[in-house]
Structure 1
Amino acid sequence: MDQAALARLLNELIAAWESEVVEFKQAGDDYDSDKIGRYFSAMSNEANLRGLDRAWLIFGVNNKTRNVVGSNYREAPERLQSTKQQIAASTEPSITFRNIHTLNHSQGRVVLFEIPVAPRGMPIAWKGHYYARAGESLSSLGLDKQDEIRQQTLLQDWTAQVVQKASLSDLDEAAVAKARDSYARKYANRFSIDEVMNWPLTTFLDRARITQSGEITRSALLLLGKAESAWHLSPHPAQLTWSLEGAERAYEHFAPPFLINTTKLYQRIRNIQLRLLPQDVLLPIEVAKYDQKIVLEALHNCIAHQDYTRNARIIVTEKLDRLIFENEGGFFEGAPGDYIEGNKIPRRYRNPFLAQAMAELNMIDTMGYGIHAIHVGQARRYFPMPDYDLNEPHAVKMTIYGSVVDPAYSRMLIQKTDLSLDEILALDRVQKRLPLSDPMIKRLRRNGLIEGRKPNFHVSASVAGATASKADYIRTRAQDDDYYAKLIVDYLSKFGGASRKEIDDLLLDKLSSALSQVQKKNKIGNIISKLRIGGVIHNAGSRAAPEWRLRK
């Protein structure tokens, strides 16, 4: 929204005043994030119960005089936006603000937090507790309201249905053990591994949102069920199929438990090492034809979004240079392109019960980041971007490439490590001979990334008018964030603690020389935040003078 639209919205909300889905606070810079999380849970749940599509938490308005007084809450834009990560880290299922708007009102700065509605069938918890509103006050989300939300999809969500004749004996022991381990790792900052492993089976399955009050659901059979128990789902085929096409032909079907058998399907794929030769560099780069994380992300998405009522299997077709993933049911919320940048959060799910169970087991997230992660992963491996085929009205096909289409494109990604994702997407369209918008054409031309005349563009064979030497390539090559995070953890493990300056001194000369000094420091800050949110490190000092240490 622009400033005028935000001003109109604020006036409308003040006129209607506080309710279960609108809250005003004056709020200073140090407003408690835990309170924000409670309001998020409560108002998201209340918006669901009232059939609304959002709720509002507003800072900078006095809730007694109803006047705009301004708020200095996190005035730095990057600190304000980091609130999204804090909320996502402690909500179940993981979800965060749709947007955080800032209005420069004549009476002071106003911050408007746009809270998304809880998905149908999935109440939102904050740090394990469900919140609601009683008028303008926070309260616990009562069992009646929890049931009302959870029952929203019981009739239409195929995966939420209880299978009356199924029992705990129909679950695969190895799959259950892996599920416990995945759940324990996800919530390591809340429960010890021993505690999770010692929970009664029914307690664990209910907490992992796999069963309902101890009763076996279709989701439980899909993820954890024995192969011989799949008959409980008949006539719906619970099946994954790997098919090899080309000079050699083969296939294999995989029944539940999908938690384990998705990895077995991945192991059928012929995943050789490929060599990419950067321009004017004698030593080749070796990359796997397919990345396991990307393949499993795509396969898990197929499982989560399959329309099981259409009585079809999920198919993974392996060709010489690509993998094609097919699942039944059209794209359910928006279009694939909406999720590439990682900014869109889905509001609805075809199978909300299954999606929540898979999120609890770390198979997927529920923030719409999967498609973004697949694109970023392919770019880091210098391969083409995925393609989507939505021509069939009731099916989705996604292609992941395991080879180079245009060597110039791959060399460009190798040598220019500062390309933005939208530039990479545009270069991918160039190598595939797809049209580009005029503004993007101008941008790519200005940056020397493409050559030729419209519509016959091609990726530039040179980078910034000069070829890269081996030394230049090594200096500008970016490592994964995990590499830098490990350096920080190793340093803290050896020396006990580190100030921000010490961490900067550790990493600055190791980051890509393609980044400016400011970009390097921002990247280090993002890595520190990721470790903190993940519960790996904590600040034992102050905000002004942090002292980072490993969590015990």
Structure 2
Amino acid sequence: MALDTTALSDLLSRLLADWESEVVEFKRGKDGFSSDDLGKYASALANEANLRGQERAWLVFGVDDKTRQVCGTSYKEDAERLQADKQQVLTGTGTFTFRDIHVLAHPSGRVILFEIPAAPRGMAINWKGHYFGRAGESLGPLGQDKLDEIRSQTLATDWTAQVVPEATIADLDPEALKVARERFAAKYANRFSAEDVAAWSDVALLDRAKVTQNGVITRTALLLLGKPESAWRLNPHPAEITWRLEGEERAYEHFGPPFLLATTQLFSRIRNVQLRILPENALLAHEVAKYDQKVVLEALHNCIAHQDYNRSGRVVVREYPDRLVLENDGAFFEGKPEDYILRDRVPRRYRNAFLAQAMTELNMIDHMGYGILDIYQRQRQRFFPLPDYDLEESEMVRLTIHGRVVDQAYSRLLMQEAGLPLVDVLALDRVQKRLPVTEDALRHLRIHKLVEGRKPNVHVSARVAAATDSKAEYIRTRSQDDEHYTRLIVDYLRKFGNADRAELDRLLTDKLSEALSAEQKRDKISNLLTKLRRQGSILNAGSRSKPEWRLAERKE
């Protein structure tokens, strides 16, 4: 969360008043404070926050832990080096890091506040393979009782954590096991050598990857690594992903376990041609794949991780000529999509905590909430429309990934304005799709001259059109004043004497803004005729069903 100086000062005062607890740690924070100790405190404080039902914990540098006085800290005074601690901690934990690092210019010296989110339910946070906790003011290994308490938080209700009676390693696919070993080794290359990982037994690997429980096969193991012929052990719950091709050509295919391999196989079925986006007045086109593989796989893995398997449904991927639509059973489990796009939210709970943990260890997802943001950022970098989440059905999540350009002006703007804030890109994306935009967002876009026009016909403004060399497109979509169109009608009647509705439609339809639909254009012409009639400028000499419009005679 972004905090200003006043808010940070108030926060520090509250933390000092409560002094140290298991979720707050004060340190002088000398410049030589080791990254290893930093990671241990991140693990310990995250785990303690989870156990005490707190949303976050704090590690504070620049406070003497004996006198309780602010003394200031010289720790990493370079802002870029300081923020690099996030990546260092993420590397050591594999899945977890600080939510934010705040710096306060206190009158008594510089203070750094590391904001640490609570460990997700069911998932203790480790540092380099070891779990840490606190006992009073002391840092040490997380007690087995505390570790069991965290792990048991979701075991009773997590469908994916349940063991499968009589299932053995023989029920797992050899190729999937090989890929799992490679992915785990790549993820933890800084911790284990490839030779060490290769020497582990399958049982040791799967336990370390949190796919099994003490060597016992779980439903997660069968979903991710199971042989297709072993899927029956999950009955009556269908472990299946369905791909359907919609349009003039129709096709479908079902994919079962092992999901670790199935998602890549499904992606190969998608018709992923190269598209050309040609900037105005440019000789070289920007070539881009219709769908980014990482975007599609990230979205598909999220469907697997968050599917409500108790509903006995399947994940469905529908391929249309211009988009992909991914559906999974179960409401959005924590927060809303925009929380992860704009508010840097870290999820605290998972419907399938055990499965999510295993998929994280196998580098299929992250469980810090960055996946959704990454999908949006990659679509933005490709100059494509942003994805759309549909949560209208209470027990289903539907995600649309667009595979074509909707508005050339929008795409060209993204090409030239790489630094445009994401919140503005989100709003402009809704404008190009003719979706509702909040009044605050619309006001902001107008202030910056990014849009113009009256609702519901808001469109890219002249300023943006000029910036993207899309002036012709702007003229075609810009709405003229009513006076311009009424003058055309009057001039036509003055020259030809009369006109029926079909003639006036032919006169005006091509001249009205292309932002209007055919029905909106017909309504617009009717309103113009009504306006002229009420002004006394024209009259209907025919009938209502077969009008004959003429200029009205003016009385002197």
- Scaled to the shorter chain, the TM-score interval is 0.7 to 0.9
1:476 equivalent in structure 2? none
Shift of 1:445: 4.4
Distance 2:311 2:462 in 1: 48
1:89 is aligned, of 83, 91, 96, to 91
User: Map of 1:408-447 to 2, 5 A cutoff?
Assistant: 408-437=409-438, 440-441=441-442, 443-445=444-446, 447=448
2:106 equivalent in structure 1? 105
1:229 equivalent in structure 2? 230
Pair 1:104–1:418, CA change in 2 (3 A): closer
Distance 2:467 2:230 in 1: 62
Shift of 1:151: 1.5
Shift of 1:18: 1.8
Distance 1:238 1:402 in 2: 28
1:149 equivalent in structure 2? 150
2:517 equivalent in structure 1? none
1:290 equivalent in structure 2? 291
Distance 1:37 1:258 in 2: 32
2:47 equivalent in structure 1? 45
1:202 equivalent in structure 2? 203
Does 202-211 or 78-87 show the bigger shift?
Answer: 78-87
Shift of 1:79: 3.3
Shift of 1:75: 3.3
Q: Tell me the secondary structure at the aligned position of residue 286 of structure 1.
A: strand
Shift of 1:305: 0.6
Shift of 1:98: 2.4
Unaligned runs of 5+ in 2: 471-556
User: Map of 1:333-482 to 2, 5 A cutoff?
Assistant: 333-341=334-342, 343-437=344-438, 440-441=441-442, 443-445=444-446, 447-460=448-461, 463=464, 465=466
The reply on whether 1:25 has 2:21 as its aligned counterpart is: no
Q: What is the one-letter code of the residue matched to 2:127? A: W
Q: Tell me the secondary structure at the aligned position of residue 155 of structure 2.
A: coil
The reply on whether 1:71 has 2:73 as its aligned counterpart is: yes
Distance 1:230 1:316 in 2: 20
Q: What is the one-letter code of the residue matched to 2:247? A: G
Q: What is the one-letter code of the residue matched to 2:350? A: Y
Distance 2:11 2:414 in 1: 43
Q: What is the one-letter code of the residue matched to 1:74? A: K
**RMSD, aligned α-carbons:** 2.1
User: How many pairs are equivalent?
Assistant: 468
Q: TM-score, normalised by structure 2?
A: 0.80
Does 142-151 or 161-170 show the bigger shift?
Answer: 142-151
- Give the structure with higher Rg (CA): 2
Q: Tell me the secondary structure at the aligned position of residue 298 of structure 2.
A: helix
Asked if the contact 2:54/2:118 (under 8 Å) is kept, the reply is yes
Q: TM-score, normalised by structure 1?
A: 0.81
Q: What is the one-letter code of the residue matched to 2:59? A: L
Q: Tell me the secondary structure at the aligned position of residue 243 of structure 1.
A: strand
Asked if the contact 1:237/1:311 (under 8 Å) is kept, the reply is yes
Distance 1:51 1:414 in 2: 45
Shift of 1:443: 4.8
Does 264-273 or 9-18 show the bigger shift?
Answer: 9-18
Asked if the contact 2:409/2:468 (under 8 Å) is kept, the reply is no
2:242 equivalent in structure 1? 241
Asked if the contact 2:412/2:468 (under 8 Å) is kept, the reply is no
Unaligned runs of 5+ in 1: 470-552
Pair 1:416–1:24, CA change in 2 (3 A): closer
Q: What is the one-letter code of the residue matched to 2:38? A: I
Shift of 1:90: 1.2
Percent identical residues: 63
Asked if the contact 2:413/2:467 (under 8 Å) is kept, the reply is no
Cα deviation, 1:119-171, whole Å, max 9, x if unaligned, reads 11111111221111122111112333222211221101111111122100000
Cα deviation, 1:374-417, whole Å, max 9, x if unaligned, reads 11111122111001110011110000001111122122223333
Distance 2:51 2:438 in 1: 42
2:14 is aligned, of 12, 28, 47, to 12
Cα deviation, 1:479-521, whole Å, max 9, x if unaligned, reads xxxxxxxxxxxxxxxxxxxxxxxxxxxxxxxxxxxxxxxxxxx
Distance 2:430 2:193 in 1: 48
Distance 1:466 1:116 in 2: 42
Pair 1:81–1:342, CA change in 2 (3 A): farther
Runs of 4 or more off by more than 6 Å in structure 1? none
